[in-house]
Amino acid sequence: MTSGIQRVGVVGGGQMGAGIAEVCARAGLDTVVCEADATAARRARDRVARSLERAADRGKLDGPAAEDALARLVFTGSLDDLADRHLVVEAVIENAEAKTEIFHALDKIVEDPGAILATNTSSIPVMRLGMATGRADRVLGLHFFNPVPVMPLVEIVTSLHTTAETAAAAEEFARQTLGKTAIRSKDRAGFVVNALLIPYLLAAVRMAESGFATAADVDAGMELGCAHPMGPLKLADLIGLDTVASIAESLYEEFKEPLYAPPPLLQRMVEAGLLGRKSGRGFHVYEG
């Protein structure tokens, strides 16, 4: 465990926030998860508890370790409970205004001037969030991947204000404390992974949209022809089509490259609530 970061806060207890909280607790850290209210906080706790139970059932974690991890977690509906944290990771909806408001509030709440404020955003500029605080030098991106307990990668994203000391502390936290592989990226929309991934997914959407090939054939082609573990449209469904569209819009806003523009079919599917696995239907249909 790193000596500097022992108390962690996570803002947002959805799929990503719950996963980040879980890996922190499993690493032995005192972890507080903040949700919008007490009801949402209880849902977040249930989400983490189910994940820990599954890990124990699959032999990835023994029962006592799962119980210890859950015991290290506190779930709250108040940001004020994050005042004593060494690191706070924001993991709320991918909306610039919502994230900016949270960083502005955290700047006033988190007492330690050396604390790191991090965002799990996949596309919103870290600089924008840092400038909502009086400590932009201590703000960076810690971009985890879903599902967080399984996926080994974390992107460390530094803005023009982020100090080398802050970046080094975050990288040590990701590597030594959480056991993740860390890569570094400059503060550009999409960072490393999504800047490469999203144009690929959008190309698959355009192929299906034009009738060039069916969604099933597009996915089979990449799985069986390129040895990808999951086809691009299945992957888009897994990520969430609303999230894919949001990242695409951020990329297009930054670079103005046509390959980043979300296709009309993707936009219509989001408007229709056909978001992929989480809604039961996207490019494919899901049950249960």
State residue 122's pLDDT score.
86
Phi, psi dihedral angles at 84 (to 5 degrees): -100, 15
pLDDT of 21 reads 98
Model pTM?
0.90
CATH 3.30.110.40 is the classification of domain 7-186: no
State the pLDDT at residue 63: 85
What averages of pLDDT result for each successive group of 10 residues across the chain (288 residues)? 80 96 97 96 95 92 92 97 98 93 98 97 92 98 95 98 98 97 95 96 98 98 98 96 93 94 98 96 92
Tokens of 232: 């691009």
Beta strand residue intervals within the chain, DSSP E = 7-11, 30-34, 73-76, 87-90, 116-119, 139-144, 153-158, 181-186
Check residue 1 and give its pLDDT: 41
Domain limits, the chain: 7-186, 193-279
**Cα(10)–Cα(16) distance, rounded to whole angstroms?**
10
Phi, psi of 34 (to 5 degrees): -110, 125
Q: State the Cα–Cα distance between residues 64 and 62, nearest whole angstrom.
A: 6
Catalytic residues: 122, 143, 155, 194
pLDDT at 62: 86
The CATH topology of domain 193-279 is: N-(1-d-carboxylethyl)-l-norvaline Dehydrogenase; domain 2 (1.10.1040)
For residue 187, the model assigns a pLDDT of 96
